Structure formats: C-alpha cells, structure tokens
A = this chain, B = another copy of it.
C-alpha cells in the first residue's frame, strides 16, 4: 500500500464510504470494505502525520538554532 499516493488513498476511502453507504453490499463484503477503509484511513492519517512531522523536522533543522536541544522528541518516543 505504501506506493499509493495520499490523494488516491483518500479517493479509495471515499469510494468505500459510498459503497458502504449504498448498503447494497453483503455483510462480508461490507465488512471487508470497511476493513479496507479503516486501513486506508489509517494510512492517510499516518501519511499526514508523517508529512507534518517531516515539515516540523524541516523547519526545526533549517530555521534558527533549534538543533541544540535534543532532536525531535516525538521521533525518539516512536523509536522506543
């Protein structure tokens, strides 16, 4: 899934939402779609987080003398 772009993922998620909304799916399929939707949502969410973090890092690294203090505590927390 990693290759799919954020926008595509978001689009797929929307399609899934519409499919589920239509109510025409059998339960298993709906369930499967839902599962897929959750994953997509999670993927998108992570993507956004990631991007945000990236921006943060970028800004921290490049702007001013912030690098004196320990680097990106959020990331460290993640790596624990």
Contact = CB atoms under 8 A, between A and B. Distances in A.
Interface residues of A, number: 37
Interface string A46-60: 111101001100110
25 contacts: A5-B27, A5-B28, A6-B26, A6-B27, A7-B26, A34-B55, A34-B58, A35-B77, A38-B58, A38-B62, A38-B63, A38-B66, A39-B73, A39-B74, A41-B63, A41-B65, A41-B66, A42-B73, A43-B73, A45-B65, A45-B66, A46-B66, A46-B67, A46-B71, A49-B67
Interface of A: 1-2, 5-7, 26-28, 31, 34-35, 38-39, 41-43, 45-49, 51, 54-55, 58-59, 61-63, 65-67, 71-74, 77
